[in-house]
């Protein structure tokens, strides 16, 4: 099974014991070079995460943003979280998804192959697609 834990309540030793990590955040602080979510992630990524060796841990990421209002920074926090976890040794080739069906200009959540680093949601403009996107992503992760 999967247990959801708010990162602010996460126990470092518990995180180290996991083989797979599924992490996500919204993007609020658009345009910033770091600390893009305006959540506890912003502090945790730069104070707690550097204490961890995540070598060999499977990583999947997700996030939410507004592709119309913030089309130049869509879901940038996903890219930030992904990069920070990868720097600590996590394996990040899990749960990448197509950018088809989205209308944005730039995103740090897109990899060099043009795929989202995980699944992203736009509850402001495409909320009707979120449930199906989430279900498809979970099916994908189970196969990977």
Digit-coded pLDDT (tens) for 19-31: 999 999 888 766 7
Which letter does DSSP use for residue 116 in this model? B
What pLDDT sits at residue 39?
Answer: 77
| pLDDT at residue 29, rounded to an integer | 66
Is the CB of residue 37 less than 8 Å from the CB of residue 26? yes
pLDDT, mean of residues 54-67: 95
Kindly state the DSSP code that residue 135 receives in the 8-state scheme. Answer: H
Residue 131 is encoded by which pair of tokens? 């449930």
The residue ranking higher by pLDDT, 26 or 2, is 26
Indicate whether 121 pLDDT > 90: yes
**87: which DSSP letter?**
H
pLDDT for 3 equals 79
How far is CA 75 from its chain centroid? 8
Distance CA(27)–CA(40), nearest Å, equals 12
- How many Å is the Cα radius of gyration of the chain? 14
CB atoms within 10 A of CB 129: 14
Measured CA angle at 41 (ends 37, 45), to 5 deg: 120
Secondary structure of residue 139 in the 3-state scheme: helix
pLDDT of residue 106 exceeding 90: yes
Neighbour count for residue 120 (Cβ, 10 Å): 29
- DSSP annotation of 102 reads -
Please give the average per-residue pLDDT across 34-50, as a whole number: 81
Residue 134 is classified by DSSP as H
Task: Please state, rounded to an integer, the average pLDDT across all residues of the chain.
Answer: 91
- What pLDDT shows up at residue 28? 76
pLDDT of residue 83: 94
Q: How confident is the model at residue 1 (pLDDT cuts 50, 70, 90)?
A: low
């Amino acid at each position: 099974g999967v247990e959801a834990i708010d990162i602010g309540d996460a126990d470092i030793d518990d995180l180290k014991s996991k083989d797979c990590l599924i992490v996500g955040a919204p993007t609020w602080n658009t345009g910033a070079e770091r600390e893009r979510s305006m959540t506890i992630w912003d502090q945790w990524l730069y104070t707690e995460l550097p204490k961890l060796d995540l070598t060999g841990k499977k990583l999947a990421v997700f996030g939410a943003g507004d592709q119309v209002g913030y089309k130049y920074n869509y879901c940038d926090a996903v890219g930030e979280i992904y990069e920070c976890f990868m720097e600590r040794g996590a394996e990040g080739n899990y749960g990448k998804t197509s950018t088809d069906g989205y209308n944005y200009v730039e995103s740090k959540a897109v990899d060099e192959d043009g795929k989202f680093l995980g699944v992203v949601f736009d509850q402001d403009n495409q909320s009707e697609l979120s449930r199906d996107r989430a279900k498809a992503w979970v099916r994908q992760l189970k196969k990977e």
